[in-house]
């Protein structure tokens, strides 16, 4: 493209997911010729970033990158950037709000109990609504940070006791089906990836430690059911106002019923990440995926330059 703007990959920043963000950013930068890799040490944009000279590919997981903050700062400077905008980023980081969007769009979602850390329900109350096997997690964090998978009143009570009296949390009935993920590129769902964690729970360590989980892709799911899951993922992408790319996570029960858990606006791009695996099912290797993920921001930047000429 004959566009003079230099692509800048932003990664790192300060969050529980900093190390994963650094790995993702380095991988993306390695697949994007001519880009500048910037590893942030603070949650703020570099002073030198200039709308007239740069466009941005943010690869910042968790706080700052996925809550709409960096997107708002880029908008304020007039800098073109890849991925979801402010409103959809904020919506999708809030798992409860995302589930409400799912239900409005007719996408199956697991029932949940939302609560503040300062007003925790009792274990008995959760069991009465969700059953004895429960998943507890923050309502506004990613990458399985703060995840508790517990069974029975004693274990649920112990997990609740460990939850800090701050932040927003949620509890869900634990599903015992097959855990899956699907990448969405420009509104089109790609391949289904089945996740088989070797220790039984797909937590932070299982996600980001090489060899901790097995992956099957494309997942062995009948074509008709795969098509229904893909259609639901695309409806979720649209309902949440997503742009360019995202990744949706779901469970498939033995009876063929599926439930979406969330949609991730800043999917991991490390060697163990799910988005590249999903893309490979559609015939895209890692460099081709990065090119497709970032192509729209080049087009938007070119259109902006053309309008201002």
19 catalytic residue (yes or no): no
More confident position, 226 or 2: 226
Antiparallel, parallel or unpaired: β 258-264 and 245-252: antiparallel
For residue 205, the model assigns a pLDDT of: 53
pLDDT tens track for 68-123: 999 999 999 999 999 999 999 999 999 999 999 999 999 999 889 999 999 999 99
User: Has 43 been annotated as catalytic?
Assistant: no
Percentage of the chain exceeding pLDDT 90? 83
Q: Write down the catalytic residue from 194, 234, 244, 249.
A: 249
Q: Is 268 a catalytic residue?
A: yes
Positive or negative, the CA dihedral 241, 244, 245, 250 is positive
Which domains can be identified in the chain, with CATH numbers? Answer: 91-108+176-286 (3.30.470.20), 112-173 (3.30.1490.20)
pTM (2 decimals)?
Answer: 0.89
- CB atoms under 10 Å from CB of 190, counted, come to 25
Check residue 2 and give its pLDDT.
41
Please say if 264 is a catalytic residue.
Answer: yes
Of 268, 273, 278, 280, which is the active-site residue? Answer: 268
Contact 79, 29 (CB under 8 A): no
Task: Confirm whether 104 is a catalytic residue.
Answer: no
What local confidence, expressed as pLDDT, does residue 272 receive? 81
224 part of the active site = no
List alpha helices for 67-182, DSSP H.
69-77, 86-93, 95-104, 123-130, 153-162
Determine contact, residues 57/30, Cβ cutoff 8 Å: no
Q: Is 17 a catalytic residue?
A: yes
Each residue of 132-145: pLDDT tens digit?
Answer: 999 999 988 755 56
Strands (E), the chain: 6-12, 36-40, 54-59, 112-116, 133-138, 148-151, 168-173, 178-185, 188-197, 213-216, 245-252, 258-264
């Amino acid at each position: 493209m004959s566009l003079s703007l230099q692509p800048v990959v932003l990664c790192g920043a300060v969050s529980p997911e900093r190390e994963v963000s650094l790995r993702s950013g380095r991988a993306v930068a390695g697949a994007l010729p001519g880009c500048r890799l910037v590893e942030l040490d603070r949650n703020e944009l570099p002073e030198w970033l200039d709308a007239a000279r740069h466009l941005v590919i943010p690869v910042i997981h968790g706080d700052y990158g996925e809550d709409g903050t960096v997107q708002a700062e880029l908008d304020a400077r007039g800098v073109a950037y890849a991925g979801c905008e402010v409103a959809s980023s904020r919506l999708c980081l809030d798992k409860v709000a995302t589930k409400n969007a799912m239900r409005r769009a007719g996408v199956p979602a697991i029932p949940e109990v939302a609560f503040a850390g300062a007003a925790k329900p009792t274990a008995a109350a959760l069991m009465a609504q969700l059953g004895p096997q429960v998943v507890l997690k923050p309502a506004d964090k990613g990458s399985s940070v703060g995840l508790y998978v517990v069974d029975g009143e004693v274990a649920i009570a112990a997990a609740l006791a460990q939850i800090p009296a701050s932040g927003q949390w949620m509890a869900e009935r634990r599903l015992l089906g097959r855990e899956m993920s699907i990448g969405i590129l420009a509104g089109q769902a790609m391949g289904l990836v089945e996740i088989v964690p070797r220790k039984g729970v797909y937590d932070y360590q299982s996600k980001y430690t090489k060899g901790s989980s097995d992956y099957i892709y494309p997942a062995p799911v009948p074509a008709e059911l795969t098509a229904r899951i893909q259609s639901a993922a695309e409806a979720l992408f649209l309902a949440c106002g997503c742009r360019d790319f995202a990744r949706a996570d779901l469970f498939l029960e033995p009876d063929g019923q599926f439930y979406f858990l969330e949609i991730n606006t800043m999917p991991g791009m490390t060697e163990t990440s799910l988005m590249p695996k999903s893309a490979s099912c559609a015939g895209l290797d890692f460099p081709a995926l990065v090119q497709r993920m970032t192509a729209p921001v080049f087009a938007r930047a070119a259109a902006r330059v053309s309008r201002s000429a």
